[in-house]
Structure 1
Amino acid sequence: MRQHSRITVFTPAYNRSHTLPKTLESLKRQKNKQFKWLIVDDGSTDNTKKLVQQWLKENYGFEIKYIYKENGGMHTAHNVAYENIDTELNICIDSDDCLAEDAIDKILTFWDSHEHENYAGIIGLDSDLNGNLIGKDLGDLKETTLSGYYNQGGFGDKKLVYRTDIINEYPPYPIFEGERYVGLNYKYILIDQNYKLLVLNEVLCNVEYQLDGSTNNMWKQYYNNPRGFAFLRKFYMQYNNSLKRDIMDCIHYVSSSLLANNPNFIKESPKKLLTILCIPFGYLFKFLVIRKGKTS
């Protein structure tokens, strides 16, 4: 018998029929079944659909929902997920990752034990499949923003649980025709401006980075998605808290704008003088992106 769902675990998937069963097994091991599993198939050409259709016939104690969409990249799968989530909370578990032991119960128990009306959700930890922590833990923090954590010296991927109503207060990820990448932290940074996250200093997800995943192919991403990256770097420059970060983002912005053949990038920049100063370095970085992006 299925329990009432309070949180949606959503999984964007592109040609991951070989890893999705591992994700499913981690969900089946959850003692607390008050969740739904939403799989957003981003135009897979393998047997993902056939595999999930088999699972839909089974009763694992939680609802499975499957949505197919044309391939558009991870951020577009997130857009579709947020449009279709109807639970209070949501958490993204990638198609090559596992939900940690008893993660659902930890999340819901923690959420219920705190006054959470003014918070956007929860920030927790990631580990690898062997239990080794990814990056730095959350220490003695009780609340933080994602940006604030990294600005104070934190590092490594963290697992985010968001209130669905709050994440849908903000614009969807922009889509650039012919491109398939916009960084997910676009929405997270916007949320940081108005809300904090409760800190749950426990592992919620066990991750595995695939050789063909976006993390391991960033040079190719830079090369193939220049408008998306120019948008993101321009966005970052509006919220950075250090000159060093501004300079780095500005060089990337110039490089991506040149790759996108945008003649108006100086006029469109939020920091025009710095953009002009970074043009020589942006040209150099552009050539590096072309060289590495074509060979990666």
Structure 2
Amino acid sequence: MKKITVFTTTYNRAYLLPILYESLLKQSNKNFIWLIIDDGSTDNTREIVKDWMTAGKIEIQYHYKENGGMHTGHNEAYRLINTEYNVCIDSDDFMPKNAIEIILNSVKNLEENFAGLVGLDAAKDGEIIGTRIPDKLHAVKLNELYSIHQVRGDKKLVYRTEIVRKYPEYPEYPNERFVPLDYLCLLIDQDYDLKPVNEVLCIVEYQDDGSTTNILKQYRRHPNGFAFSRISRIKHGKTFKEQFKNAVHLVSSAIFSKKVSWLFKSDKTLLVIAAIPFGCLLNVYVRLKTK
């Protein structure tokens, strides 16, 4: 049985997937499965993946579902994965040729209090996205990496599958296609540590149609998903600044969703009330930026 699943959620990215496929073919360690969750693509994704499966150069699993957004693709992936570890590589990203080898070497004898690994993302030119992880850290929680240790930029997460399945799935809201993925990470943070790996596990290239590039539009189109995420960030925030910032965002998302009830779902109601004027200003700012 393979040790790790590389899973990719994709929607109409047939023109990008070959880059990721080629990088997986070049892996120095082939002890992995590539699981592709097709989130309702209308291009030729199914056909090119079937060709790769027929070629049989690496083990590929393909699953088609109705379009529901990236978070629903993650829900589906976690239901299907049957390897000990998993890592998400987006359809517009790829892996350096030694990434699987680094991961499998790093998880050897991993202690039970570790949910997995946190490694680095890099750009095509090799430059690290954001900052490296402080060398002094031998165990860390993802949220603390940013809020306390002031690390910047996206990082790559490798999780134990059995641990991921202990936590609730991402919620799904009618007519919305986005829930921030850090919700699950934040829940895992409460119970487990991550082992830092200061090596590049993923090469990223942000696309014009990607969620990172269009975050303000996503913010406006999917207010319930963002409001849900802010509730957990307020609850588990390590600093007052972090909690208040997310309270401001909660107010703005509540306005977009036209659901005042979101303001009373946090366990820090007074903080949310204090954030209302700032949340209103943020809401106006987002509206102006997304006309």
Which TM bucket (shorter chain)? over 0.9
Ranges in structure 2 where 5+ consecutive residues have no aligned partner: none
**What is the rounded CA distance, in whole Å, between the counterparts of 1:268 and 1:144 in structure 2?**
29
- Which of 83, 86, 108 aligns to 1:90? It is 86
Matched, 1:46 2:55: no
Asked if the contact 2:254/2:263 (under 8 Å) is kept, the reply is: no
Q: Name the residue aligned to 2:25.
A: 28
**What is the rounded CA distance, in whole Å, between the counterparts of 1:187 and 1:86 in structure 2?**
19
Asked if the contact 2:235/2:266 (under 8 Å) is kept, the reply is: no
Identity of aligned residues (%): 48
Q: Name the residue aligned to 2:125.
A: 130
Matched, 1:225 2:225: no
Deviation at 1:191, TM superposition (A): 0.5
**What is the rounded CA distance, in whole Å, between the counterparts of 1:149 and 1:269 in structure 2?**
24
- Which of 55, 62, 73 aligns to 2:69? It is 73
**What is the rounded CA distance, in whole Å, between the counterparts of 1:263 and 1:111 in structure 2?**
45
Deviation at 1:241, TM superposition (A): 1.8
Asked if the contact 1:40/1:69 (under 8 Å) is kept, the reply is: yes
Q: Name the residue aligned to 1:99.
A: 95
Asked if the contact 1:222/1:293 (under 8 Å) is kept, the reply is: no
SS in 2 for 1:238: helix
- Which of 8, 16, 29 aligns to 1:11? It is 8
SS in 2 for 1:183: coil
RMSD of the TM alignment (CA)?
Answer: 1.2
**What is the rounded CA distance, in whole Å, between the counterparts of 1:28 and 1:82 in structure 2?**
23
**What is the rounded CA distance, in whole Å, between the counterparts of 1:117 and 1:279 in structure 2?**
42
**What is the rounded CA distance, in whole Å, between the counterparts of 1:173 and 1:264 in structure 2?**
20
Matched, 1:201 2:218: no
Kindly tell me the number of residue pairs found equivalent between the two proteins.
289
**What is the rounded CA distance, in whole Å, between the counterparts of 1:233 and 1:35 in structure 2?**
34
- Which of 232, 251, 254 aligns to 2:251? It is 254
Deviation at 1:74, TM superposition (A): 0.8
Q: What do residues 206-260 of structure 1 show as CA deviations (whole Å, max 9, x unaligned)?
A: 1110011000001101110011111111111101122222221111111110111
SS in 2 for 1:142: coil
Asked if the contact 2:144/2:238 (under 8 Å) is kept, the reply is: no
Deviation at 1:131, TM superposition (A): 0.9
- Which of 180, 198, 207 aligns to 2:177? It is 180
Runs of 4+ in 1 over 3 A off after TM superposition: none
Matched, 1:234 2:241: no
**What is the rounded CA distance, in whole Å, between the counterparts of 2:160 and 2:115 in structure 1?**
6
TM-score (norm 2): 0.96
Ranges in structure 1 where 5+ consecutive residues have no aligned partner: none
Letter of the structure 1 residue corresponding to residue 229 of structure 2:
L
**What is the rounded CA distance, in whole Å, between the counterparts of 2:28 and 2:49 in structure 1?**
22
**What is the rounded CA distance, in whole Å, between the counterparts of 1:152 and 1:224 in structure 2?**
32
Deviation at 1:39, TM superposition (A): 0.4
| Range with bigger deviation, 90-99 or 239-248 | 239-248
**What is the rounded CA distance, in whole Å, between the counterparts of 2:110 and 2:19 in structure 1?**
34
